Structure 1
Amino acid sequence: MDENSKVFVISIAAELSGMHPQTLRQYDRLGLVSPGRTSGKSRRYSMRDIVRLREVARLGAEGVSLEGIRRVLELEDQVSALSSRVRELEAMLADELLNRPGRRVFAADIEGDVISLKAGTRARRSNQLVVWRPLER
């Protein structure tokens, strides 16, 4: 089963998370955990939602307010998305370096003249601006 599959009804989600169904409804209204909906508008929770509900319960038990929990979850989601993007960019950079060895990089000297540099080398002066733009594919 995929962790994002919306399969659990609210009673099962409440049991799996150790919460009352009314608490899950409140968290949905507050936007802490937003389950999917069926065509009949009933809630369907995924395993990822259950894990998030447990995290909300853990933070609440540690004394964090609901607004604090919302902010922590928002920041965790942001960190996760940014980490994923960094991995994606690192893979793209590795592919680029493997596929195009010896490419040239260009820099501008103090007078504005363009200087060609071999990939992996640095401009000699600290006041030079290095500009790199990937080729169109």
Structure 2
Amino acid sequence: MAKQRAKAAYMISAVAEKYDVHPQTLRMYEREGLLQPSRSEGNTRLYTDEDLQRLEVILELTRELGVNLAGVEIILNMRMKMAAMQAQFEQFVASLNDQLERIPRGPDTEARNTLMRVARAVPAPEPAKRKTRV
């Protein structure tokens, strides 16, 4: 039986120090619904690596791009929706490819070959690239 590796968890003081933010700022992000750290049995906030990645996005949006918290919420929600849409798209393309593979091969496969070319020509969407500021 393989052991499951425990997820790393960081207390608010360590996160605040690492990212040079006040602990109250992290609490505010939680009140605003931007971060949702888990809690220990003693009710201490515990931030996972995923929480830290989300915090990095929040800090980049606010510090570097000047986005307010309402805008950050909208952007984060849009990112989640886009990720879900991309997953649906990839599932659709995989399903289409599966269906195309089931079409019998034979002398009358012009339509099948055309569909295969179309399905394979559809590029998967690439994640948004960061624009670097000069």
TM-score (norm 1): 0.64
Matching residue of 1:33:
35
The sequence identity of aligned pairs, in percent, is 35
* Alignment correspondent of 1:14: 16
Gaps of 5+ in 1: 104-117, 122-137
- After TM superposition, list the pairs within 5 Å mapping 1:41-52 onto structure 2: 41-52=43-54
> CA deviation digits over 1:24-48, x for unaligned, max 9?
1110010011112223322111112
Contact persistence 1:9–1:43 (CA under 8 A): yes
User: Which residue pairs with 1:115 in the alignment?
Assistant: none
Distance in 1 (CA, whole Å) between partners of 2:10 and 2:74 is 26
Q: Specify the alignment match of 1:124 in structure 2.
A: none
Q: Output the CA distance in 2 between the equivalents of 1:29 and 1:6.
A: 23
> Is contact 1:14–1:21 with CA below 8 Å preserved after alignment?
yes
TM-score for the superposition, normalised by structure 2? 0.65
> Which structure features the higher share of strand residues?
1
Q: Equivalent residue for 2:26?
A: 24
> What is the root-mean-square deviation of aligned Cα atoms in Å?
2.3
| 2:90 maps to 1:87 | yes
Higher helix proportion, which one? 2
**Deviation per residue, 1:27-75 (Å, 9 max, x gap):** 0010011112223322111112112112211211222111011111110
Residues 67 and 48 of structure 1, relative CA distance in 2, 3 Å threshold: same
Could you give the per-residue CA deviations for residues 78-134 of structure 1, whole angstroms, max 9, x where no partner exists? 111211221122222222322x1139xxxxxxxxxxxxxx9649xxxxxxxxxxxxx
**Matched-pair contact (CA < 8 Å) for 2:103–2:112:** no
Match of 2:123 in 1: none
Task: Report how many residues are paired.
Answer: 102
Structure 2 partner of 1:68: 71
